[in-house]
Structure 1
Amino acid sequence: MNDGLAFPFVNLAIAISLSAADGEPWLGTWIAHNVLWEVGAGVLIGRIFGWLTFLIPADTKLAQTGDGLIAIAATFVSYGLTEMIECYGFLAVFITALTIRHSHREHDFHREMHDVTEQIERLAMMILLVLFGGALVNGLLAPLRFMDVMVSVIVLLVIRPVAGWIGLLGLEAARREKLTLSFFGIRGVGSFCYLAYGLNNMPIEGGERLWAIVGLVVLLSVLLHGLTVTPIMRQLDRSQGRDPDAEGIPPSGLQRPG
């Protein structure tokens, strides 16, 4: 959902950039196509696939297979079809999962899908971080300038926490929990996708420098948040009356986001 709702604004930046280059109007096209059509189609396709998993005739229900890999298949199919009609595949995948979850909340099939997707997610993140490390070794950060480093630090320590705090307005949670969530945010790996998408859809100079800035933000996030998450979460548990060292006591519900 986070990525699906971010893409209209990625396309907004692209539309403004292209308009500055050729003078063509952008607002009407952006609202009609990038917001109404692409968001609407992503939601619709996600709803359809979630519905098919549980609500088609019993003798052909996908849930009857008992195979957790159905979740991965639904992800690829809903994402692929949505992208084929130039809409937001990320959003379709989220709506698919949400619809599946709400179609039959007590079905054992949910546990099968959860276990499989959790393992695959960990493997995918491991592979991505290995590739990211290879890019660092091969000079990903070489184009950086001093100002770029300062911008990256400000993004990580100021802009992202403030944006996270604003996003949590209205959430019924203790102030300490909101501060924790705002500080950690997410690693920002999705920014690679946004940047690649943007560079493929608009002419721009200094693409390598942009890759270096995004790479530095992700690297700093991995290091800073990876080193601080355990002590901060333990302190949060203690502040809420939980002993993080006691056996049988579940950890805080605030898990480190991907």
Structure 2
Amino acid sequence: MHGIAWYIIIGLLLVAMALGGSVLKRLPLSTSLLYLGVGFALGRLGLGHLDPLEHAALLERLTEVAVIISLFSAGLKLRLPLKDREWRVSLRLALWAMVLSVGLVTLVGVGALGLSLGAAILLGAILSPTDPVLASDVQVSHALDRDRLRFGLTGEAGLNDGTAFPFVMLGLGLLGLHEVGAGLWRWVVLDVLWAAAAGLVVGALLGDQVGRLVLYLRKHHREAVGLDELLALGLIALAYGTALLVKGYGFLAVFAAGLALRRIERKHTGQRPPEQVEDAARGKDKLEAATHPEHAHAYMANAVLGFNEALERIAEVALVVGLGVLLASTPVAPEVYWLAPLFFFVLRPLSVALALLGSRANTHQRVLMAWFGVRGIGSLYYLFYAIAHGLEDGLAQRMLSLVLWVVAVSVAVHGISVTPLMTRYEHRSGRPREATPVKEAAPLTPRRR
């Protein structure tokens, strides 16, 4: 009977969100907060139960899939070339703010929570990365969005899920669950330098070569047209799996693969206004748009991104409802009442402020970057990754309570504040609350054969 109830409840939720999505965007809350509430209510009613310790490996896989889908989308949305100065803000946030945040949480973990050094570093690594899945309201809405705040937060979310991994491995190593080598040499060489470089290179190469192959077949032979959904899933799986095979970070690989696909489109477009290319790529004659030499690149990027964004929404519903169910049976650790405010009002802002010293971001942008460090599915992935790799039960239970409830607080406070704060920001910066969608172009004129 519970299975039938779940079908009906999820069906009603999805239909309601589809019908009322535009209304919800104007309210001071996010869809994630609604999903969380629904999941918590279902858990309290006894309609769902999942032991997070017993099923840690399953939860690790589910959250892993959601994160890599979102990271690929994030890469596809970032159209600026890597040499553009706007990338510097993202790099500062993903590297320096990440390291500072992990360090500050480690100090709190050892000094106030009574954790061992390894457990404190692990907690810092789990909580520090911002989320690519739940932070869509503050990220770029499409590939033409150049806003510094949105671009910076999107780039940070795309990169720091990979830069957090070395600290996860360090924490596990200090707990005796991962080999770090004498004097941490193995951790530095393999977990930091090699894994990060291998992930980025593998993703960039595969994204570039697969994209070029598809475009060659389409433009010169009118083949490999359609099924862009399979192209998206195939490239994500290929980049992720290959990176893991060579001991690289798969999260960085899928993000780099998305960037590489977008780079192909941007490189071909040249100096032409990107809006014109996107217009043509949305022509009603899909076959012509997909195979036209001038527009095939943009068509491919748009089609893959559109499918991926739909997958993101489905993953968000499933996992945030699941988070609510887990919260219903997870007691709140007393430390959460002071740790969550400390993290969101002190540690995150301090790390961002220090990381952005001398950057081009203005004061308003820096304040919002400091505030919108949304925690979500990425933190859950690292949590279940650590549990599945042998955390002692007592420590695992404590980490569960701390992380699940800190993430829930993030979903609540950021979900409530995102609409008024972003509306105010965009009013001050002179841009609309929602990016105006590109109008659909007239059918392309068939090219001569």
The two structures have a TM-score, normalised by structure 2, of: 0.49
TM-aligned CA distance change 1:65 to 1:26, over 3 Å: farther
Aligned residue pair count: 243
- The answer (yes or no) to whether the contact 2:203–2:252 under 8 Å persists in 1 is yes
2:401 maps to amino acid? A
User: In the alignment, what sits opposite 1:34?
Assistant: 191
Q: How far 1:170 moved relative to its partner?
A: 4.7
Secondary structure in 2 matching 1:104: helix
Structure 1 unaligned residues grouped into runs of 5+: 252-258
Equivalent residue, structure 1, for 2:205:
48
Moved more, 101-110 or 156-165: 156-165
**Counterpart AA for 1:233:** M
Letter in 2 for 1:43: L
From 403, 411, 416, give the equivalent of 1:214.
Answer: 403
Deviation at 1:91, TM superposition (A): 0.8
Instruction: Please state how far the C-alpha of 1:86 moved relative to its aligned partner.
Output: 3.3
1:79-118 to 2 correspondences below 5 Å: 79-105=240-266, 106=269, 107=297, 108-118=299-309
Distance 1:72 1:7 in 2: 23
Match of 1:240 in 2: 429
Cα distance change of structure 1 residues 45 and 232 upon mapping to structure 2, 3 Å threshold: same
Identity %: 30
CA–CA distance in 2 between the matches of 1:215 and 1:187?
A: 10
Residue 161 of structure 2 is matched in structure 1 by 3
RMSD, aligned CA: 2.9
Return the alpha-carbon distance in structure 2 between the equivalents of residues 63 and 157 of structure 1. Answer: 54
1:14 — aligned with what?
Answer: 172
Alpha-carbon distance between aligned partners in 2 of 1:125 and 1:13, rounded to the nearest angstrom:
28
Deviation per CA, 1:49-91: give whole Å up to 9, x if none: 1122233482389995343311222112211222234321101
Task: Read off the aligned partner of 2:225 and give its amino acid letter.
Answer: T
For residues 137-194 of structure 1, the C-alpha deviation after alignment (integer angstroms, 9 at most, x for no partner) is 2x12x1x432243112211222123233344445423211221121011233211111
Structure-2 change in CA distance of 1:63 and 1:147 (3 Å)? farther
CA deviation map 1:198-230 (0-9, x unaligned): 233354332111111111111111111111111
- Matched residue, 1:188: 376
| Residues 67, 174 of structure 1: alpha-carbon distance in 2 compared, 3 angstrom cutoff | farther
| Aligned partner of residue 145 in structure 1, secondary structure | coil
1:68 to 215, 221, 228: 228
The structure showing larger relative contact order (alpha-carbon pairs under 8 Å, at least 6 residues apart) is 2
Aligned pairs for 1:99-248 (under 5 A) are 99-105=260-266, 106=269, 107=297, 108-137=299-328, 139-140=329-330, 142=331, 144-204=332-392, 205-241=394-430
Higher mean C-alpha displacement, 54-63 vs 210-219: 54-63
String of CA shifts for 1:4-63, please: whole Å, max 9, x gaps.
1111121122222329x9996251110121122212221221122112223348238999
**Is the 2:180–2:186 contact (alpha carbons within 8 Å) kept by the matching residues of 1?**
no
Structure 2: gaps of 5 or more residues? 1-158, 270-296, 437-449
CA contact (8 A) 1:63 1:109 kept: no
Cα distance in 2 for residues equivalent to 1:162 and 1:171: 15
- Conserved 8 A contact 1:50-1:95: yes
CA distance 1:32–1:232, change in 2 (3 Å):
same
Q: Distance in 2 between matches of 1:45 and 1:22?
A: 24
Give the AA of the match of 1:112. Answer: A
Residue 58 of structure 2 corresponds to which residue in structure 1?
A: none
Kindly tell me: are residues 119 and 169 of structure 1, through their superposed partners in 2, closer, same or farther at Cα, counting changes over 3 Å? farther
Between 87-96 and 234-243, report the one with greater CA deviation: 234-243
| Equivalent AA in structure 1 for residue 194 of structure 2 | W
Distance 2:369 2:176 in 1: 36
Checking the alignment, whether the CA contact within 8 Å between 1:41 and 1:82 is kept in structure 2 is yes
Equivalent position SS for 1:103? helix
What amino acid maps onto 1:162 in structure 2? Answer: L
Alignment match of 2:182 (pick from 25, 28, 44) = 25
AA aligned opposite 1:157: F
Contact 1:50-1:100 within 8 A present in 2 as well: yes
Partner of 2:21: none
Structure 2 counterpart SS, 1:18: coil
